[in-house]
Amino acid sequence: RKEVEQDPGPFNVPEGATVAFNCTYSNSASQSFFWYRQDCRKEPKLLMSVYSSGNEDGRFTAQLNRASQYISLLIRDSKLSDSATYLCVVAQGADGATNKLIFGTGTLLAVQP
């Protein structure tokens, strides 16, 4: 089983649509969770951290379900500029001795005019 698993997409949506991405992770001891965004041939950029209680940042909402080992990202009112690959990222850190990031393969979003 992959450490972090995502649907690769692509998700093709019209401007203004709501789109949701899902991710599962295999290590139940994982401590921290993030969504990064990566534009083509660019570096990953932190979009938001994901907290157990769920959190929102403008049009973006992230949810975490530890019992199901499942993370989600919801984008409302999508813009053309949201077109990118969305990376689900998990930090191990179970024993406090590591904070390496484990990346999913990413979900490609294409917002159409």
Q: How far is the CB of 40 from other proteins (least distance, A)?
A: 11
Contacts of 83 (CB under 8 A, 6+ apart): 109, 110, 111
Chosen residue from 67, 81, 97, 113 binding other proteins by CB under 8 A: 97
Q: How far is the CB of 31 from other proteins (least distance, A)?
A: 4
β-strand 32-38 against 84-91: which pairing, if any?
A: antiparallel
Within 21-80, the residues that bind other proteins by CB under 8 A are 30-32, 34, 38, 41-46, 49
What residues make contact with other proteins under the rule CB under 8 A? 30-32, 34, 38, 41-46, 49, 87, 91-93, 97-106
